[in-house]
Amino acid sequence: MQKLRVAIIGQGRSGRSIHVDHIQKLPRMFEIVAVVDPLEIRRDWAVKELGCEAYEDYKPLLKRRDLDLVVNATPSNFHVPYALELLKSGHNVLVEKPLAKTVADVDRLIAAAKKAGKVLAIFQQSRFAPYFHQVKKVIDSGVLGRIVQISCAFSGFGRRWDWQTLTEWHGGNLMNTGPHPLDQLLRLLDLPTDQVPQVFCHLDRGHFWGDADAHVHLAMRAENRPLIMLEISSCCAYPMFTYHVYGTQGGLKGGYDEVEWKYYKPAEAPKREATAEPIRNPDGSPAYCGEELKWHTKTWQVPKGKSALFQTLGIAYYRNLHSHVTSGEPLVVTPDQVRQQIAVIEQCHKQNPDIWGKKK
């Protein structure tokens, strides 16, 4: 098995706690040979613990020809400029989410990767979530009937004052957390990647100390598709289910560890027709529509050993990336799919100029 030589730009929460951790769990596939971080203490840690080279700046990586992959785990506002330089210098690049702020920037990255003949990958590991695949499996089975609405909430309560609360650094819950549920929901919406759904979005700064959004309420719709409702809030003291699906024959609720769904079978239900005649009880007294349906209820629980959600998802993502780089296996998460996601985010920003408008 070919072992890929990897450099990681950034040794913060993402670069060190996610990417280093995942790569170390796949020693036959990857080897970390260099890291970049402006903080000396982080560089010293990498040299001591990883046995790799360490740089204060990413520029030396541009000239190296012994790297199979460079991971861009910098703060979000550096994703596009660093990735462009890396691609143009002839490197395969994995970029943390969010890939970019605008579709125009995504197009620049895709064009640069194509011109260089190199891989542009985006770390959207939530596509590999077991609960998401179970939700999609139930929806695709048809037992819930026609899906009317899919609601998703990635919410909780937490106060923040770091760079993720600053629009200048491309912070906010929509840009930071949003790529995870948006990636899933756009696959459930199942529009061609060159189409963008109708979008309505309300953003609120909530209790963040910065000027970016702490509360996100987003609706997406498209012809002959279910209504998609997404909430991402740091102001939710009573978080509910991650997914809630409404169908004409039943529904589904569930989160990271468990999914439950129930449905009735039309063949087992009484035949009904719309009527303008008053509905009456046998004695002639007024009645309301009411019937006893036979419900079929099922549950799913996350397979044993997959409860450490993000660690499991990241490793699955890296396995797919390794296969893509070494043997041409298709990427599960493609740049075109992420481009559609960024198009939605860009529409949300345009609808909330009080937060994402031009700076004075």
**What pLDDT, on a 0 to 100 scale, did the predictor assign at position 304?**
75
Decide if pLDDT at 52 tops 70.
yes
Query: Each residue of 107-130: pLDDT tens digit?
Result: 999 999 999 999 999 999 999 999
State the greatest distance between any 2 C-alpha atoms of the chain, in Å, as a whole number.
89
Q: Which residues pair with 123 in a beta bridge?
A: 96
Decide if pLDDT at 360 tops 50.
no
Query: Average pLDDT, stretch 198-225?
Result: 96
- For the chain, domain boundaries: 4-123, 128-307+341-356
Say whether 128-307+341-356 and 4-123 share the same fold. no
Rounded to 5 degrees, what angle do the CA atoms 349, 352, 221 make?
70
Closest CA to 36 of 68, 10, 3: 10
Topology, domain 4-123:
Rossmann fold (3.40.50)
Query: Each residue of 15-34: pLDDT tens digit?
Result: 999 999 999 999 999 999 99
CATH architecture of 128-307+341-356: 2-Layer Sandwich (3.30)
Query: Each residue of 171-203: pLDDT tens digit?
Result: 999 999 999 999 999 999 999 999 999 999 999
Strands (E), 26-166: 30-36, 53-55, 69-72, 93-96, 120-123, 147-153
